[in-house]
A and B are shown apart, each in its own frame.
Chain A
């Protein structure tokens, strides 16, 4: 009996030994912040807290599992994972459900958002491909990379989920950047993207055009999206230096703030905890990103390095886009504040991503072929 328990304890210890303690501590801090926000902002606070906690448990399990899988195994599975997640996308168009966009597959138990899985599988596939090629990438490598990223992005934007598509596209850019893409080519790419903006604008959905117009002039639509931004700014600004205190968000309670558990959760947090709270959360986020990039540098093989670096920088984009959006610095894009906003697949896939990163780091001596 005692031996059995001891064996069990050893197994747990082995599993946990793959977890990077400083990174996990920072992530736990962010999850705690999320629970704090959900418990204060929700109308069905208890339900939100329980649901979000369940997702964190599920996500942490995925993290633990992936951290204990060797990068070699992950890498050999990568093309299959990529193909598998990509093939889920057409199902969304056929069976998908969602209020304004077909983003979710109803799995009976919970809704699966295949776009979220692509946030992991696309960087994995790109790292897998670049791992095999000589770096910095040649024009041919660049073209293949563009296809690996472009196809899923097209499908996601078509759903339409502009926010996720943008994040996946950005992850592709980061991977190439970290792979050492020449500065000259980077400048050319940025120039081309800038030139494409007016053309791309034609293809945006009417609601997306509205959002951009609203961003440029919030007063133009005081009841619609503009209202949200105005109210969100009032929430943040009135939080002041030290905040109104937990559960004291008048903006959310009086229903001025829409979506105050999901996309605008960070406004409520800012209102209740003030700039000090924002500083603390940003410090946690900064630590997570810096730690991941440092962990990436320790890796001996290109796959692990690129995957870790790409995921870390994508995580950063989440923060900037959502943090900028709720404060009115950027247009409204449906991107959640990572780990803090209420959301199913997002929280799970983010934690799974950190599982990949921890796997790479804890097996960093592995060189690869």
Chain B
């Protein structure tokens, strides 16, 4: 084992010696430590007591100004304005109830204010100031300032509050900030953020929260014995938040809202070449300014119980079956898969039958459309053509192409909470309902009915792919950012686009069909495009409430009320060199051609025609 013989007595003795040495060392070191403490605590006590008593330099975090938001032409959409809030530091207030009662005589304290204050007091640290009320009116500031000496531990603090210059116009784009709560703080993972009074809750305010927020700075503040600040000794400046420049065109956004009139629904306009979102509207909307400084219970109840759901972002979270607007994509899948050529024809008799089944699947005309090729099938929206095509492809192949065009998955827009929608498939149905798939469901999938759920954003992305030569391009609201007023705008890197796989010739066939929809007499969009100085390519769609057509095995209850009976339109213009692609969804909107189409036309006019023609106010023509 070892090179030398083990001598246990010797080893024990050796250990004894070493243990004594160690003990000597331990004694010396601990005596030294004790002396060090004696020096601090006894010999230099006066010095340190003095320092502790005058320890009034506190690090006070300073709030950075939140980033501003501009539209594509540099128009200011969201900024910060100075305001005052009332803060109370529990540790410095002897009787909080009495103080609140006294304060209530100087400033208006609502039940909401008091409830919020109590809740914050329960969960935050005693020496941290808690907001009693914000914002204070000028009168309240003046009244409190005169009486300030009566309220130790209560202070009026200036801060910047968010302002949305267009009230409800961008509610579902920019979203809003609201009061920071304890959960938000926990999610941020840093207690220092407690100086922030607000945080982005929805829309871009939430998605770009970190950039918009900026970096917190510090002030070394001298305070008196009660913690009231006497002056700033040193500043470590905060870094203001990043400004955002959107691809949104405010005029187009306004024109879109105006075009809807009293109707509810949603619309998206995108630049098909960049994926930049030009307009995004979800109606009804709401005034985001209501939320900033704490929405009153009354206002919130009104908004959240409104059956037309103003708080619901229809573009991002709202799904609808695509109806006939899916047909150009199904036609493209037919071409890509080699199962159809553009000139191949199908005979439409008015009703389509699966062999051996009694139930028929109808066309929109009782007598049918006769013999139609691909172009006519799009222009006239011939159901039979797509029943047969979907049945021939089979649901698996059908889904493969639809997925490639972007359906059944988020578009990747820079907002949070985008739903993926539903691509109808046997696997999905088994998981969802534990039921087998029927052939009839493949058939109705071909005309965008049944289990299909798409978001307006997906349709916009798909339409953009048809317009831009077959590239699936992620949608983006933010175009550029800058880190300060005197800095240059830095364009955000273009997100990578993927090819949908179609050849130029295949795409051209679809585009020709969509132009025929708008500019031939038989086309379903003829009335929409009448008199337009530029050429439009488009497709109408209607999702019936509960229709006999295509409802073979459909449970009526699977469709929520707000999804029933929608009018849809997708399109782009100018047809030969598109610069804008639009999607319009009108709820309870009759037929796509009669309600959604005219709204889309007004959007295209607003964007493509010289301003003088576009701004002429028109009555929506039904």
Interface on A for B, CB 8 Å cutoff?
Answer: 43, 132-136, 138, 140-141, 174, 177-180, 222-223, 227, 231, 233-241, 250-251, 253-256, 270, 274-275, 278-279, 282, 285-286, 289-290, 293, 296-297, 300-302, 305-306, 309, 313, 316, 319-320, 323-324, 327, 329, 367
Contacts and interface: CB of A to CB of B under 8 A. Distances in A.
A275 B40 CA distance: 9
B611 interface: no
Given A180-B14, A237-B44, A134 B26 contact: no
B22 A309 contact: yes
Given A302-B8, A302-B11, A234 B51 contact: yes
A193 to B, nearest CB: 17
A235 B49 CA distance: 9
B26 A275 contact: no
A279 B45 CA distance: 16
Given A132-B1, A237-B41, A239-B41, A293 B19 contact: yes
B19 A240 contact: no
A180 B52 contact: no
A328 to B, nearest CB: 8
Contact of B18 (A178, A233, A270, A320): A178
B30 A320 contact: yes
20 contacts: A43-B125, A138-B3, A138-B4, A223-B59, A223-B236, A231-B55, A234-B51, A237-B51, A240-B49, A241-B42, A255-B58, A270-B41, A296-B19, A297-B15, A302-B11, A302-B15, A305-B15, A316-B30, A329-B36, A367-B8
A240 B30 contact: no
A275 to B, nearest CB: 4
A301 B11 CA distance: 9
B29 A320 contact: yes
Most chain A C-beta atoms within 10 Å of own C-beta, residue among B40, B127, B220, B227: B40
A316 B29 contact: yes
B55 A254 contact: yes
Contacts of A134: 2-7
Nearest to B54: A234
Contacts of B347: none
B300 interface: no
B44 A135 contact: no
Leading 10 A-B pairs by shortest Cβ distance? A237-B48, A238-B52, A180-B14, A134-B2, A134-B4, A275-B41, A237-B40, A240-B45, A238-B48, A133-B2
Interface in B14-35: 14-19, 22-23, 26-27, 29-30, 33-34
Contacts of A250: 52, 55
B26 A286 contact: yes
A238 B49 contact: yes
A180 B19 CA distance: 10
Given A134-B6, A254-B127, A324-B36, A235 B52 contact: yes
Contacts of A43: 125
Contacts of B47: 237
Given A133-B6, A290-B26, A367-B8, 18 more contacts: A134-B3, A134-B5, A135-B14, A136-B14, A138-B3, A237-B47, A237-B51, A238-B48, A238-B51, A255-B127, A275-B41, A275-B42, A278-B34, A279-B34, A282-B30, A282-B34, A297-B12, A316-B26
Contact size range, B: 35 or more
A136 B236 CA distance: 59
Contact of A251 (B19, B52, B227): B52
Given A241-B42, A320-B33, A178 B51 contact: no
B117 interface: no
A293 B22 contact: yes
A297 B42 contact: no
A256 B36 CA distance: 22
Contacts of A238: 45, 48-49, 51-53
Contact of A237 (B1, B7, B45): B45
A327 B2 contact: no
Nearest to A276: B41
Contacts of A227: 59
Contacts of B12: 297, 300, 305
B123 to A, nearest CB: 11
A233 B127 contact: no
B110 to A, nearest CB: 30
A301 B15 CA distance: 11
B291 interface: no
A141 B11 CA distance: 15
A179 B19 CA distance: 10
A273 to B, nearest CB: 10
B38 interface: yes
Contacts of A177: 18, 22
Nearest to B1: A132
B186 to A, nearest CB: 14
B36 A180 contact: no
A293 B55 contact: no
A296 B11 CA distance: 13
Interface string B50-83: 0111010011000000000000000000000000
Given A237-B44, A255-B127, A320-B33, A178 B52 contact: no
Contacts of B6: 133-135
B286 interface: no
Contacts of A235: 52
B318 to A, nearest CB: 38
Contacts of A306: 15
B52 A234 contact: yes
B41 A236 contact: yes
A236 B37 contact: yes
Contacts of B125: 43, 255
A75 B15 CA distance: 19
A133 B15 CA distance: 15
B218 interface: yes
A174 B22 CA distance: 9
A132 to B, nearest CB: 6
A297 B30 contact: no
A296 B218 contact: no
Contacts of A278: 34, 37, 41
A240 B41 contact: yes
A223 B55 contact: no
Most chain A C-beta atoms within 10 Å of own C-beta, residue among B15, B41, B127: B41
Given A235-B52, A320-B29, A290 B34 contact: no
Interface in B517-559: none
B44 A180 contact: no
A235 B51 CA distance: 9
Given A234-B55, A238-B45, A286 B1 contact: no
Contacts of A329: 33, 36
B39 to A, nearest CB: 9
Contacts of B44: 237
A279 B34 CA distance: 7
Most chain B C-beta atoms within 10 Å of own C-beta, residue among A43, A178, A324: A178
A185 to B, nearest CB: 13
Contacts of A305: 12, 15
Nearest to A292: B19
Contacts of A313: 22, 26
A304 to B, nearest CB: 11
Given A240-B41, A240-B42, A241-B41, A293 B23 contact: yes
B6 to A, nearest CB: 5
A241 to B, nearest CB: 5
B59 to A, nearest CB: 6
A13 to B, nearest CB: 32
A174 B27 CA distance: 16
Nearest to B4: A134
Contacts of B52: 234-235, 237-238, 250-251
A166 to B, nearest CB: 16
Contacts of B42: 240-241, 275
Contact of A236 (B3, B23, B48): B48
